[in-house]
């Protein structure tokens, strides 16, 4: 349909360039599915992104030229050309969405498996990890991810041991405190007994003293 559209030579040239870029994008994304190396995938995506930028520039140029020629075209021709412009915009947006999907997939491979926390002294940053991951094969990425999960399991196990030791110390401390409290209670009771005995002895001494005085 597009080839049968009545266009000026300028519009036809721009339209042809856009269609050439769309064919290149379609072929590029097909090749991207067959690439397993993440570094080559990133490079291919950069090239496709450049083509999309050029497509966007050409679509804008097509729109400007279309507006310049609008007064010289019939309403029907203008409608057909505007429909073609909208069709090209939708096609370009579909490639943009496809690019985002691939970028998200690459980002998950490179960052999420290796992002150990930026800003921690001695630890690699996310950017450094991406650079390391970009040179690794898919199998190496999987192995690295498995290693990370093993390290996480070990860290969890160590944390559980610390918690158990803390609980054990807390239980022992509570037992010691209870023992000390019981001991203090016994001391107080003993002191009360001594005080009572002293009081009774004092009363007995007084009684003996009165009896002695009575014999005189």
pLDDT for 149 equals: 56
Per-residue pLDDT at 195: 73
- Per-residue HEC secondary structure of the chain comes to CHHHCCCCHHHHHHHHHHHHHHHHHHHHHHHHHHCCCHHHHHHHHHHHHHHHHHHHHHHHHHHHHHHHHHHHCCHHHHHHHHHHHHHHHHHHHHHHHHHHHHHHHHHHHHHHCCCCCCCCCCCCCHHHHHHHHHCCCHHHHHHHHHHHHHHHHHHHHHHHHHHHHHHHHHHHHHHHHHHHHHHHHHHHHHHHHHHHHHHHHHHHHHHHHHHHHHHC
| Residue 81: predicted pLDDT | 93
For the stretch 107-134, pLDDT in tens is: 665 544 444 444 444 444 444 444 444 4
pTM of the predicted structure, to 2 decimals: 0.48
9-115 to CATH, choices 3.40.1350, 1.10.10, 1.20.58, 1.50.10:
1.20.58
CA dist 9 and 60 (Å) reads 17
Low-confidence ranges of the chain (pLDDT < 50): 1-2, 111-134, 138, 142, 145, 152
* Listed residue (113, 148, 118) closest to 132, CA to CA: 113
Per-residue pLDDT reduced to its tens digit, 182-214: 787 776 676 677 676 677 767 876 777 677 666
pLDDT (0 to 100) of residue 215: 56
Residues listed for the chain: 216
Residues whose CB falls within 8 Å of the CB of residue 126, separated by 6 or more in sequence, listed in order: 111, 114, 115, 118
Distance CA 109, CA 130 (A): 9
């Amino acid at each position: 349909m597009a080839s049968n559209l009545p266009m000026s030579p300028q519009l036809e040239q721009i339209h042809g360039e856009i269609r050439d870029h769309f064919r290149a994008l379609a072929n590029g994304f097909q090749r991207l599915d067959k690439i397993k190396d993440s570094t080559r995938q990133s490079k291919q995506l950069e090239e496709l992104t450049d083509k999309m930028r050029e497509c966007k520039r050409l679509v804008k140029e097509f729109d400007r030229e279309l507006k310049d020629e609008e007064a010289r075209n019939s309403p029907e021709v203008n409608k057909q050309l505007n429909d073609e412009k909208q069709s090209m915009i939708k096609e370009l947006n579909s490639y943009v969405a496809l690019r985002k999907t691939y970028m998200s997939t690459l980002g998950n491979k490179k960052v999420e498996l290796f992002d150990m926390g930026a800003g921690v002294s001695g630890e690699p940053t996310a950017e450094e990890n991406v650079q390391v991951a970009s040179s690794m094969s898919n199998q190496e990425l999987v192995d690295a991810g498995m290693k990370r999960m093993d390290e996480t399991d070990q860290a969890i196990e160590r944390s559980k041991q610390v918690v158990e030791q803390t609980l054990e110390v807390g239980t022992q401390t509570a037992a010691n405190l209870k023992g000390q409290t019981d001991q203090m209670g016994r001391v107080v009771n003993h002191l009360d007994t001594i005080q009572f005995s002293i009081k009774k002895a004092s009363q007995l001494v007084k009684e003996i003293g009165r009896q002695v005085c009575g014999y005189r």
